[in-house]
């Protein structure tokens, strides 16, 4: 009930982190989450900061909002958040950024909470959702790489 994708980027960890931790930019990268906004007066990434994301499941629908809370926020290194339902974390998304050669290795991952319903869902449809999540993570990281590797005009 978890997976990850890693992409090498010719950019510093700080450059990459500034993009993955700015949830208001997710619509530029993700094939499913097309916008997000900070909530409750939060103006940027910090542990405990809340935001909501506007999701178009599988890129087709249904369309819905999810509330999230930042759980990990280390500039230049990591950014993670829980997706909440009824105040409980059902999914955890994270970015880990490691210096590597001429840039950074960036890993995006997800981990579903080990609830009975999610275990049942994963047993029946996990193969399809896992494939969709891997494609989405790859697309997100490739879009971020395209931005950080494009020379400034």
Query: How confident is the model over 57-89, as pLDDT tens digits?
Result: 877 778 999 999 999 999 999 999 999 999 999
pLDDT at residue number 153? 58
CA distances from 89 to 4, 66, 83, 102, 103 (A): 19, 11, 6, 36, 33
**Prediction pTM value:** 0.92
Q: Which CATH number fits domain 2-149: 3.30.530.20, 1.20.1560.10, 3.30.460.10, 3.30.70.20?
A: 3.30.530.20
Q: Which residues of the chain have pLDDT under 70?
A: 152-153
pLDDT at residue number 97? 98
In SS3 terms, the chain reads as CEEEEEEEECCCHHHHHHHHCCHHHHHHCCCCEEEEEECCCCCCCCCCCEEEEEEEHHHCCCEEEEEEEEEEEECCCEEEEEEEECCEEEEEEEEEEEEECCEEEEEEEEEECCCHHHHHHHHHHHHHHHHHHHHHHHHHHHHHHHHHHCCCC
| Structure-block tokens of residue 9 | 């980027």
Query: What's the mean pLDDT when you consider all of the chain?
Result: 93
What ranges do the domains of the chain cover?
A: 2-149
d(CA 95, CA 109): 7
């Amino acid at each position: 009930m978890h997976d990850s994708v890693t992409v090498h980027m010719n950019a510093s960890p700080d450059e990459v982190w500034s993009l993955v931790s700015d949830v208001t930019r997710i619509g530029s990268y993700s094939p499913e989450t097309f916008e997000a906004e900070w909530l409750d007066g939060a103006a940027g990434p910090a542990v405990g900061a809340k935001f909501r994301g506007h999701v178009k499941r599988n890129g087709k629908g249904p369309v819905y909002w999810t509330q999230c809370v930042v759980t990990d926020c280390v500039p230049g290194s990591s950014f993670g958040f829980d997706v909440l339902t009824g105040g409980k974390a059902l999914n955890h998304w994270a970015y880990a950024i490691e210096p590597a050669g001429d840039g950074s290795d960036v890993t995006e991952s997800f981990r579903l909470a080990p609830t009975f319903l999610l275990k049942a869902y994963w047993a029946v449809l996990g193969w399809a959702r896992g494939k969709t999540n891997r494609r989405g993570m790859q697309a997100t990281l490739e879009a971020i790489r395209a931005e950080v590797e494009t020379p400034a005009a």
